[in-house]
Amino acid sequence: MKLKEHYGIDVPVSTIRALTEKHGEAMWAKQKSGSAWPEHPGVPVLIAEMDGSMVPVVETAAPGAGEAPQDRRKTRQLSWKEARLCLVQNPSSVTPIFGATMGSVEEAGERLWECALAAGAGNQTKIHGLGDAAPWIIDQVEERFGTLATYLIDFSHLSDYLAAAAEVVAGKNKDAWRKEKQDGLKENRWPEVVGSLQPFVEAASVPDSEAPVRACYRYLVNHSNYLDYQGARAAGLPIGSGAIESAHRYVMQSRLKIAGAWWKVENLEKMLALRVLRANGGWDDYWREVLDEAA
């Protein structure tokens, strides 16, 4: 609009789109990968979170050999694909380091690794992993950081299981019951919570969708290695993964899930790189480099 107003130049929307994709691809290419773990001690502790979010994807079929060109809008297929977002944050900082990918869980783990290095990790840095119980998240935290890492199930996510079980176990007293069990979990008394659920576990013949007590019981037993809420609170570390959940909204979804937007898969990686660069405060540095290269 400014070019039109001041110079009489019309810039087509297709040109703006092409330039955006070009720079997004350049930003994606500049992302580090394969970095070695530092030999220095690094910062004492870092918080690491990771999660997935579904984004809208469109695919169109190209004409086959010998086929006449056709309106590609008639061949489009709409679907949803998972974008993986991660962040690493020093507890003494209010600004996380972000990474994102449309790729595999291993690529997501690579982004988490690079975020940790950018946040000051070293060979003595403790990694406080935090998130839901998705196996791919737990596996990547443990595989990437080994004995330096511990993982904690998001307390809010676990509380959802407790709330559902409370409907069956406590009835009208469900809120008080849930609060009591939450307090017990914060003190690492999860075996007591499991014991209080056991008498109410639904029969095996009851479908999982109708068995909230059984679901809660299994969730606690299967993830008992990741319930050290007392230790996290004593260290002043978070027990909820609200940071990554809110980051989905302002890093990815506010742009990638605008009304009516459907994306080609190959363009999503470029847009993610653009959004992550802005969230990490590298926007001005990128354009400074572009101008220096053009000079």
Share of the chain above pLDDT 90, in %: 89
C-alpha closest to that of 267 among 86, 71, 23: 23
C-alpha closest to that of 243 among 254, 251, 234, 233: 251
Torsion of CA 106, 107, 112, 113, to 10 degrees: 80
Burial class (CB in 10 A: 0-12, 13-18, 19+), 184: middle
pLDDT digits over 225-283, tens only? 999 999 999 999 999 999 999 999 999 999 999 998 899 988 999 999 999 999 999 99
107 CB-near residues (< 8 Å, 6+ apart): 84, 101
34: left (phi over 0), alpha (psi -120 to 50) or beta: left
Least confident of 70-74, 96-100, 136-140: 70-74
pLDDT at 148 over 80: yes
The confidence score (pLDDT) of residue 31 equals 92
Q: Specify the residue for token string 């307090």.
A: 183
pLDDT digits over 9-53, tens only? 999 989 999 999 999 999 999 999 999 999 999 999 999 999 999
C-alpha closest to that of 35 among 146, 121, 113: 113
Q: How many residues does the chain have?
A: 295
Interval 199-220 mean pLDDT: 96
pLDDT at 69 over 70: no
Distance CA 181, CA 47 (A): 26
Interval 122-149 mean pLDDT: 97
Q: How is the chain split into domains, by residue range?
A: 1-60+74-153+240-295, 155-238
31 CB-near residues (< 8 Å, 6+ apart): 99, 111, 114, 273
> Which helix H or strand E contains 5, and what residues bound it?
helix 2-7
pTM, full prediction: 0.90
The confidence score (pLDDT) of residue 74 equals 73
Distance CA 114, CA 46 (A): 13
Inter-residue contact 196 to 169 (CB < 8 Å): yes
pLDDT at 68 over 80: no
Torsion of CA 240, 245, 247, 252, to 10 degrees: 160
Distances (CA, A) of 179 to 31, 176, 182, 219: 44, 5, 5, 18
26 CB-near residues (< 8 Å, 6+ apart): none
- The per-residue pLDDT of the chain, averaged, comes to 94
Distance CA 271, CA 21 (A): 7
The confidence band for 70, taking pLDDT boundaries of 50, 70 and 90, is low
HSE of 229, CA atoms in CB hemisphere, 13 A: 24
